[in-house]
Amino acid sequence: MSPITLALSKGRILEDSLPMLTRLGLGPAGDIDRLLRVPSEDPGVHLLIIRPADVPTYVEHGAADLGVVGKDVLMEHGGSALYEPLDLDIARCRLSIAAVKGSPYADPAGWSSGRRVRVATKYPEITRRHFAQRGEQVEIIKLYGSMELAPLVGLADVIVDLVDTGNTLRANGLVETEVLTQVSSRVVVNKASMKMKHAALQDLLARIQTMKA
């Protein structure tokens, strides 16, 4: 049987995953700062180090058998084509709405300005669904970073972004006004791989579950 391929999200999820992988004997056996495909300490498992937004795609299309990715990415890009057997409870944060402190938009009750509220975010689908469920239409401006800048320069009225400690918001004069959802890292599995490599994947998932517990 070919080795199991595990896709890991670059950044905080990778940093938080490494101690667990090392305890499982699956720590990288190569330079993760330079290589995108790295052998693990277990010859039966290979690691892919890729952008978080790409993890569901790699797993769904079988380029990886399973992956570790944030729930925010699954909610934004859709995870219905994948199994989601485990919540690793790591890289925890929240997806929130934030506005400039003291602005009319710092109080959601004061949003009746006669025009659509402009929302800057890298999560347009989650944002659209959230406001649609409330019966509100908003103008969504997609950005890829430096979200806190948007309301400061008048590009947007509010932002929807991940918040951990809230220090970056406070440093830029913003406040959280609403939490959309709590976010943590999940294990996702390719459905065909679960059939073809069932025993090996079930064993690996059980080891991860035991380590998590």
Q: Are residues 64 and 133 in the same domain?
A: no
Q: What is the pLDDT of residue 114?
A: 66
Residue by residue, DSSP assigns the chain as -PPEEEEEETTHHHHHHHHHHHHTT--BSS-TTT-SEEEBSSTTEEEEEE-GGGHHHHHHTTSSSEEEEEHHHHHHH--TTEEEEEE---S-EEEEEEEETTSGGGSGGG--SSSPPEEEES-HHHHHHHHHHTT---EEEE-SS-TTHHHHTTS-SEEEEEESSSHHHHHTTEEEEEEEEEE-EEEEEEHHHHHHTHHHHHHHHHHHHHHH-
* Residue 59 and residue 113 share a domain: no
Same domain, 30 and 72: yes
Counting the structural domains of the chain, the total is: 2
| Same domain? 113 vs 79 | no
Give the per-residue pLDDT at 110. 67
Q: Is the domain of 76 the same as that of 12?
A: yes
With beta carbons less than 8 A apart as the criterion, state whether 155 and 117 touch: no
Residue 191's CB is within 10 A of a number of other CB atoms, namely: 13
Dihedral, 155, 158, 164, 170 alpha carbons, nearest 10: 80
Residues 6+ apart with CB under 8 A from 148: 98, 159, 161, 168, 169, 172, 174
* pLDDT beyond 80 at 211: no
User: 41 pLDDT exceeds 80?
Assistant: yes
Rounded to 5 degrees, what angle do the CA atoms 134, 135, 140 make?
85
pLDDT of residue 107: 84
Q: Are residues 12 and 85 in the same domain?
A: yes
Considering the domain architecture, whether residues 108 and 98 belong to the same structural domain is answered as yes
Q: Span 68-96, mean pLDDT?
A: 93
Check whether residue 101 and residue 156 sit in a common domain: yes
Residue 98 pLDDT greater than 80, yes or no: yes
- The reported pLDDT for the residue numbered 176 is 96
State whether 176 and 204 are in the same domain: no
| Per-residue pLDDT band at 1 (split at 50, 70, 90) | low
Average pLDDT, the chain: 92
The whole-angstrom separation of Cα 158 and Cα 100 is 8
- Which residue range is the domain that position 131 belongs to? 93-183
Identify the residue with better confidence: 54 or 109.
54
Has residue 161 got a pLDDT over 70?
yes
What's the pLDDT score for residue 35?
82
- Residue 157 has what pLDDT? 95
Q: Write down the pLDDT at residue 113.
A: 60
Mean pLDDT over 48-52 rounds to 95
Query: Is there a single domain that holds both residue 86 and residue 190?
Result: yes
Work out the average pLDDT over 160-173. 96
Give the model confidence (pLDDT) of 109-150 as tens digits: 767 666 789 999 999 999 999 999 988 889 999 999 899 999
Q: Burial code of 61-72, b = ≥16 C-beta within 10 A, e = fewer? A: eeebbbbbbbbb
* CATH number of the domain enclosing 195: 3.40.190.10
The pLDDT confidence band at residue 21, using thresholds 50, 70 and 90, is very high
Q: Do 53 and 42 belong to one domain? A: yes
Query: How many other C-beta atoms are found inside a 10 Å radius of the C-beta of residue 117?
Result: 21
Question: 34 with 57, same domain?
Answer: yes
